[in-house]
Amino acid sequence: MRIAWGITGAGHYLRDSYEVLRQLVEKKYKIDVFFSEAGKTVAKMYGVLKKIQDLQEKNKEYITSIFYDSGQSPGYIVSARFNLNKYQALIISPVTSNSIAKMNIGIADTLITNIFSQMIKGSGKILLVPCDLVCGDIETEIPNGEKIMIKVDQFNCQNALNLRKFPNVSLFEHPKEIVQKLIEFENADV
């Protein structure tokens, strides 16, 4: 199974997302990684950008490409891969409320929102881990590793839930849930 993995500018679940990405590489999934501009910045702050680059360096057979928002526009040429069914699944983890809002109304002005839009058109599976899927007080991790409490409001929570209106979109509360869903997809294809 060929996978595209998108990363937006959220710190929430970013380190957990990296761990799942690493596990999938260990399981020999072929993955291309896509960063929004904010995703690249935040991944650098959390020390995850270097980890992904190092993971690619050691596993070029499985992480074949890393794409960044910068250098893609105008037109996000790399997005054509999604119309051409180069990927069976698109994982975006973590997904910010900003990206969620754009996806809901069809704005495709970043690399991540553009590949989401193109994957909808290409009919592939989309697995999302929105930061604001669960309403109320949640614990999150800041760049230094400290845990803090933040509040997810009803509006952003509902925006995340609204993404289920799109075909082939699955929402997850935590990145670790993705692995089981990929296994289900593979078993369904057999």
Distances (CA, A) of 90 to 59, 64, 141, 144, 167: 20, 15, 25, 29, 13
Cα gap 95→93, rounded to integer Å? 5
Quote the number of domains for the chain: 1
Query: Domain of 178: which CATH number?
Result: 3.40.50.1950
pLDDT at 11: 96
pLDDT at 75: 79
The strand pairing partners of 147, in sequence order, are 141
pLDDT at 189: 67
Judge whether 89 and 185 are in contact, CB under 8 Å.
yes
Containing structural domain, residue 162: 2-189
Cα gap 38→70, rounded to integer Å? 10
Cα gap 153→132, rounded to integer Å? 8
Q: For 123-158, how does the pLDDT look when each residue is reduced to its tens digit (9 = 90+)? A: 889 999 999 999 999 999 999 999 999 999 999 999
Residues of the chain with pLDDT under 70: 73, 189-190
